[in-house]
Structure 1
Amino acid sequence: MSPPPFRAEQIGSLLRPPLLLDLRRQVDAGRLPIEKLHEAEEAAIRDAVALQESVGFKTVTDGEFRRRSYHSYFFGELGDVKPDYVEDTSGDAPGKRGHQPMAVINSRVQWTHPIHVDDYRNLAKLSTALPKITIPGPCALHFRGGDKAVLKTAYKDVDQFWDDIVTAFRTELQALADAGCTYVQMDETAFAKFGDPEVQATLASRGDDWRTLIDSYIAITNKVLTGLPPQLRIGMHLCRGNRGGQHHAEGGYDVVAEKLFNQLAIDFFYLEYDSPRAGGFSPLRHVPKGKSIVLGLVSTKSGSLETTEVLKQRIEEAAKLVDLDRLAISPQCGFASVDTGNPLSMTEQEAKMRLVVDVAKDVWQDA
């Protein structure tokens, strides 16, 4: 398992310090210049990198501290585009199914400048660990609105939308590679949600067959990935929603596994596996030789700490289907996919991060 991925991985986002959230609210209200927020973000990122190093991770992220959510900033830099519009959050609560955010596409998607190159460069200056940049997947906008959202305002042709998406993502990834970045995590939640009957019904109600979307999304993602510099390692993270301890879908990887692992031009996957909602390990039998799996066994949705024994047992179970030397461990998702974070404390977050590293060291000699 030539890293990345590493035996112990951190998925991306970290809980924001309360001061950072307060400063952002003041900026939004016009009571504080944005430069003050940027200064605070830089200080918080230094602390986040130091935390990841002290825990023992061999790769670090910036905690996504400059973003309101894991994907909103990226898409917002591509035009008048919003991937996470939520009309009604009434009834949403930790541990429950939350309302699925929807996409609003008011302009064509267009890459005009590097989006995360400065984030990579700043990270590289802060740590000797390998910087990892996290970006959303190219199919997120379409999954959250379908052809109707694409054609409502900005486009008359869905094929033109996909061409714009592919161009924008390829250009950003090339810009990151040109800057020296060698590690990118692509957060594409759609594939993990296709196994949920409720999601399937929602897609059907707007005229989409989920089986067809699987093929389309694999084809689009492969267009993005084909021909990129070989030194750029790209893994795909899959989960079923992670907003304030809520989820957006349930069901295993069974319906997508064979195509996902064998047809998608991705060498390693970070898979959510922290609860029964994710199903069992059986779909891992489709993982071909040469591809690796990072098992997201530690939940970020609550502060309850898993035990070393149970985590090691689960790794042993997965190793019956994928060789142990092609496995790793991580939290199931980020700790704050949106800036308000999940319902756990900073202390609980650190304990979970340390648990991931400690288990990895127990299981793999090269951790």
Structure 2
Amino acid sequence: MALRTKPPFRADHVGSLLRPAALKEARTKFAKGEIDAAALKAVEDREIERVIKKQEEVGLQAITDGEFRRSWWHLDFLWGLDGVDKHVMNSGVAFAAVTTRNEGVKVTGKIGFTGHPMIEHFKFVAAHTGCTPKITVPAPSAVYGRPARPPIDDKAYPKLDAMFEDLGQAYKKAVRAFADAGCRYLQLDEVFIAMLCDDKYRQQMTARGDDPEKLGRLYGDLVNAAMADIPADMTITMHMCRGNYKSTFMGAGGYEAVQEVLFNRIKVHGFFMEYDTTRAGGFEPLRMVPKDRQVVLGVVTTKTGKLESKDEIKRRIDEATKYISLDQLCLSPQCGFASTEEGNALAEDEQWAKLRMIVELADEVWGR
């Protein structure tokens, strides 16, 4: 079995990690005005250095900052784009057992990219690891895909087509900026293509005046626009899940509904695919994956602390190989452990046990 020396790696992870108590305390103090931005950054730096070392110790080759400088997996990035601002919604987004905080986005002007704090966030990770530094950013659909349409200034965009064109170009510049900073492994977190697998969500899109089939193609084209100016040695992967907030989920449904968009339209190098429960359907759509792409099987859940059986995970990998070659597969958790700063309902020790097991399993299945 061929070893993988470039991403995605046989043992990989989505990116976000549980926020340590010291970081949560510092963020609370900062919000209350009890410490300044420099003091908060000092805590962030220290805790990120610690979590980088921990990832290296468990054997991961792709290293992130755990998204420790963020509150949300998506909003902190989107708020840094030109023309996109913070929006306080009437209510949060409804998940299976909880409603999120009520923060969102609004489009207040022409969308663009003229720089972003996360470029420096990436550089910090790169300067503190000898492994492969990885940055995660939301896919472009995160601007538009929540069940309630975001407010859009009709003076800036009397027609939505122009907004999506600008959004794609802004992402193209952003991804190139990460590349110019040295990034060679970038992940686009794509929730809203995966949500198009859910019948209820599709009905919500239709009710608000959107065509779910057109949205899938549009979101795929935006992903392609984002990676249109990358260097030849840069890897772009796409992570898909149906929501991850305090160990709950937003949607369900197999990938059949979007398999054409995923595997025939989108040009990413690899797919992180949620597969920890039957909510994501079966492995059958994997038969459509092009031979030059990797699939990172997310069969280890981040929503509970219970450690899966190695034999069960191997059985699931074997099941997937009925539809795709073993050499095209890698292994990871199904999502991040803390898509928002609240985190999922498990302990840090349980988080690291899962990541360590993934590394061990990858060695056993594919060899070192």
TM-score by length of 2: 0.93
Q: Which residue of 1 aligns with 2:50?
A: 47
Q: Which residue of 2 aligns with 1:296?
A: 298
CA 1:348–1:28: 2 relative to 1, 3 Å? same
Q: Which residue of 2 aligns with 1:104?
A: 106
Q: Which residue of 2 aligns with 1:163?
A: 165
* 9, 21, 25: which one aligns with 2:24: 21
| Bigger mean CA offset, 106-115 vs 126-135 | 106-115
* 167, 175, 178: which one aligns with 1:176: 178
| 2:109/2:153 contact within 8 Å kept | no
- Matching residue's letter, 2:246: G
* 310, 323, 339: which one aligns with 2:341: 339
Q: Offset at 1:121? A: 1.6
Question: Distance between the aligned counterparts of 1:363 and 1:98, measured in 2?
Answer: 39
Q: Which residue of 1 aligns with 2:119?
A: 117
Q: Which residue of 2 aligns with 1:241?
A: 243
Sequence identity percentage: 37
Question: Distance between the aligned counterparts of 2:334 and 2:172, measured in 1?
Answer: 27
Q: Offset at 1:113? A: 1.3
CA 1:248–1:182: 2 relative to 1, 3 Å? same
Q: Does 1:217 align with 2:210?
A: no
Q: Which residue of 1 aligns with 2:189?
A: 187
| 2:78/2:105 contact within 8 Å kept | no
Q: Offset at 1:154? A: 5.0
| 1:195/1:256 contact within 8 Å kept | yes
Alignment map for 1:310-329 (pairs within 5 Å): 310-329=312-331
Question: Distance between the aligned counterparts of 1:197 and 1:157, measured in 2?
Answer: 27
Q: Offset at 1:144? A: 2.0
* 14, 18, 39: which one aligns with 1:36: 39
| 1:83/1:144 contact within 8 Å kept | no
- Matching residue's letter, 1:276: T
Runs of 5+ consecutive residues of structure 2 not aligned to the other structure: none
RMSD of the TM alignment (CA)?
Answer: 2.2
Question: Distance between the aligned counterparts of 1:271 and 1:205, measured in 2?
Answer: 28
- Matching residue's letter, 2:216: I
Question: Distance between the aligned counterparts of 2:93 and 2:78, measured in 1?
Answer: 26
Q: Which residue of 2 aligns with 1:6?
A: 9
Question: Distance between the aligned counterparts of 2:85 and 2:365, measured in 1?
Answer: 42
Q: Which residue of 1 aligns with 2:367?
A: 365
- Matching residue's letter, 1:30: G
Question: Distance between the aligned counterparts of 1:161 and 1:320, measured in 2?
Answer: 42
Runs of 5+ consecutive residues of structure 1 not aligned to the other structure: none
Q: Offset at 1:147? A: 6.6
Q: Offset at 1:97? A: 6.7
Q: Which residue of 1 aligns with 2:141?
A: 139
Q: Offset at 1:107? A: 3.5
Provide the secondary structure at the position in 2 that maps to 1:163: helix
Q: Which residue of 2 aligns with 1:74?
A: 77
| Bigger mean CA offset, 222-231 vs 353-362 | 222-231
Question: Distance between the aligned counterparts of 1:83 and 1:12, measured in 2?
Answer: 24
| Bigger mean CA offset, 276-285 vs 155-164 | 155-164
Q: Offset at 1:258? A: 2.6
| 2:238/2:268 contact within 8 Å kept | yes
